[in-house]
Every structure is written in C-alpha cells, then in structure tokens.
Chains A and B, each alone.
Chain A
C-alpha cells in the first residue's frame, strides 16, 4: 500500500516513515500493549491496567471532552497569523497516508461536487462554477499534528460564502467531507464559517496541483493538517457526528487551534 518515494524534504521523509509505521501496525487496539512504560506507570499509580480497553475508553472520553472545551475556546473572529509571500516554505511538503505518486488523479472536467444533508440546494457544482465565485487568497501556516509546520499560499472561495449560497443549515453541528482518495473527515460549523476557511482551488497562484488536493481541498489555518481534506468530491451538513479517517483511530476530532 505504501511505497517509499522520493520525498520533498527530510521532513516529509519522516512523515512518510511515520505513516508507514502507523499503517504497519495491524490493530490500533494493541497500541497500549506496545508501551513499555505503561507497566511502570501502573506500578506507580497502583491501578490495574489489565483491561486495556477501559484505559482506551477513558482516554477517548477525555478526548471527546477536550472537543467540547475546544469548541468553547474557539473564537470565530480570531484570525490565524498571515505572512509575507517571501516566507512561503519551498517546496511545500507533501503529506498523506500514501506516497505522493499515489495521489488520486481526478478529471477536473468530469468532476462534480456532490452536496447532501441539511442543504437547501443540493445541485452538484462543477469546477467552472466554483472558479466563477469571488476568489480570495491567504498566506498562512499549516501545522501538522506531528508538530512540524510550513507556510503556504492558498486561494479559492471562502467556505462561509459557499455554505450560504447553497442554503446550508448554518445552525447544524457538523460539515462532513468525502474525498477521492477515500479520506473523510468532518468539522464543526463554527470553523466552517470562520473567515479564513477556504474552498481551495489554487496553490501559490496556480491551479491546485494533484499532490496538494486537485481539484479542491478545504484549507483551514485554524485546524491541524489532517482536518484539511484534499480531493473533496462530496460535502454534507449534518447533526450526526460523522467522525473521520484519523479521528476514528484516536486522533482528536476538533484538532485545531
């Protein structure tokens, strides 16, 4: 599934290596078993951790609680810092759960953005229609859950404008995304409506390249990298928690600042 491929930088090699390690682990259920220090911790606390499932459940509950806290902390008017174009990271690192040469090839002419859920006008959108909407761009910092960050320039349609245009229920809790690389994720409505949340069609002034999510990705400088879906082909609005590819495996759902 994963091939080692020439990476852009040392950082992306590390990312890829980490992705390979993750995928090489057949069952995430066993992630606690692998931990040598957990035994020491158990001695220290005097707690029995025979039932690893319960430890995992407890940590999952704290993570959900953290989602709520983060929702309360999120100020919809606070903007992520922007940078001059001279500070753009070149080349901007590629990162996904697969190698760069395995990024999906999407035919932009055939591509249609499907809409479903709590949306008044569910007519699919073409790339041409999206490009005809008012465009804006931003130079912001992309922060990966692994810790590294890189500055890039993304352009496209403010997501709030689009959501209003299609008559999405803006009081709904979640917006979910389905992607051509079988990735999926979801975000809170407050972040969806944040002024810097962008339906991205360009990178650094050019058509969004395949490796960065052609034909369209959602760019949110207030969220970690894995919350920014690429190659989106379907958007839905819902009140039912939709989860996500990494989130379902234990990564925090809110995943942002």
Chain B
C-alpha cells in the first residue's frame, strides 16, 4: 500500500477520526433526544449531552448521521475492494479468539507486528462495524418508519426499533470505553492512528 513502516494508511486514519467525531456527536446528541422521553427509569445528565434542547440535539444528530453513514460507506468500500478486510480481519476462529483473549487477560498478548490485528482486535472491530450498521438501520426506521417497512418489521416495529437503537448506542459506548482503555495501556497505538507509524 505504501512504505512498509506505515501501520495505518492515511485514508484509514482520516476515516477513523471522522468516525470518532460522528460517533461522539451522535451519542451525546442522542442522549439529549432520549431525555425528551426516556423509556427507562433514568435520564442522561444534561451536562454531558449535546444540543442544549431537543431541537438543537436533533439538528446535531441529523447532521452527524451523514458523516457517520458516508464515512462508513467509504471505509467499508475501500476495505472490501482493496482486499484489506479479508487480509486484516480473516481468518478469525473461535479457538484463536479464546486463546488471544486469555493471553490479553494475562497481559501477555503479543504485539509483535502492529500492522496485523490479533484475534481479539479482529473480533472487536468486526463487532463494532456490525453494531454501527445496526444502529444506522434502526435509526433509519425511527427517522423514516413508513418508507422502510421491511426494515421496520425486521426490527419489530417502531417502538422496538427505539430500544434496538438505544442498545446499539450502549454497546458502542461500551466498545469506546474498552478501546480508550486499551489505547491508554498501549499508547503507541494512538501515535500510529495519528501519524501512521
């Protein structure tokens, strides 16, 4: 792709940070939208939400969704057509995943070559891709429930899609936290995602 010491190509870094921005805006504005009519016995503290009031939050949400979707499609497109997806994420076996997970818990997971993902990374990144795909699909049902009847019925109707959207968000936030912890444990991964090496 480029010089051999490059861990992450430029397009991937750009896409990663665009995605990070979109996710942060969408999650924090989404919390504000959730607060307008919470379906659990809690609300999100206003101070960590974006938008100031419901209309402001909705404006942020429906602007950042384009960034998430367009950037996500570019990311997936380049990954699939360049062969990177197959190269970086597969094969992924349950045995290797369990072995790497056990090694990670013991703090012995080898990072011999940062250009290659271990099985836990492969699983985690594929998982978050699927999670974002589902959050987009459930979001489409909430936004356009009449225009996407098949998707709506697959997700169990409008009210069910609201919950799916919420749980996808919660899962994404969970990934985000683990992701940040891992970066804190191995700070050079942050450098690699900023400058490529």
Contact = CB atoms under 8 A, between A and B. Distances in A.
Interface string B31-51: 001101111000000011111
Contact of B62 (A37, A66, A249): A66
A15 B35 CA distance: 11
A36 B28 CA distance: 11
Nearest to B28: A37
A185 interface: no
Contacts of B145: 80, 143, 257
Interface stretch (A71-79, A100-108, A173-181, A206-214): A71-79
Contact of A21 (B37, B53, B144): B53
A149 B51 contact: no
A141 B149 CA distance: 14
B58 to A, nearest CB: 7
Given A78-B147, A257-B145, A252 B52 contact: no
Nearest to A62: B63
A221 B58 CA distance: 20
Nearest to B49: A37
Interface string B62-95: 1100100000000000000000000000000000
A84 interface: no
B146 A222 contact: yes
Contact of A35 (B50, B62, B142, B144): B50
Interface string A65-91: 010001001110011110000000000
B165 to A, nearest CB: 10
Interface in B146-164: 146-147, 149, 152, 157-159, 162
A19 to B, nearest CB: 10
Interface stretch (A24-32, A152-160, A229-237): A24-32
B134 to A, nearest CB: 18
A144 B37 contact: yes
Interface residues of A, number: 50
Select the residue from B54, B58, B152 with max chain A CB neighbours within 10 A.
B54
Interface string A184-228: 000000000000000000000000000000000000011000000
B146 A149 contact: no
Given A22-B53, A25-B53, A35-B51, A73 B144 contact: yes
B147 A257 contact: yes
A62 B62 CA distance: 8
Given A41-B24, A146-B36, A147-B34, A22 B146 contact: no
A37 B50 CA distance: 6
Contact of A41 (B50, B143, B158): B50
Contacts of B56: 31-32, 35, 59, 250
B37 A31 contact: no
A46 B38 CA distance: 33
A246 to B, nearest CB: 7
Interface string A5-43: 000000100110010011001001011111111100100
Interface in B16-40: 21, 24-25, 28, 33-34, 36-39
Contacts of B142: 147
Given A41-B25, A78-B147, 9 more contacts: A11-B37, A31-B53, A32-B52, A38-B50, A44-B21, A45-B21, A63-B59, A79-B146, A249-B55
Interface of A: 11, 14-15, 18, 21-22, 25, 28, 30-38, 41, 44-45, 59-60, 62-63, 66, 70, 73-75, 78-81, 141, 143-149, 221-222, 246, 249-252, 256-257
Interface of B: 21, 24-25, 28, 33-34, 36-39, 47-56, 58-60, 62-63, 66, 142-147, 149, 152, 157-159, 162
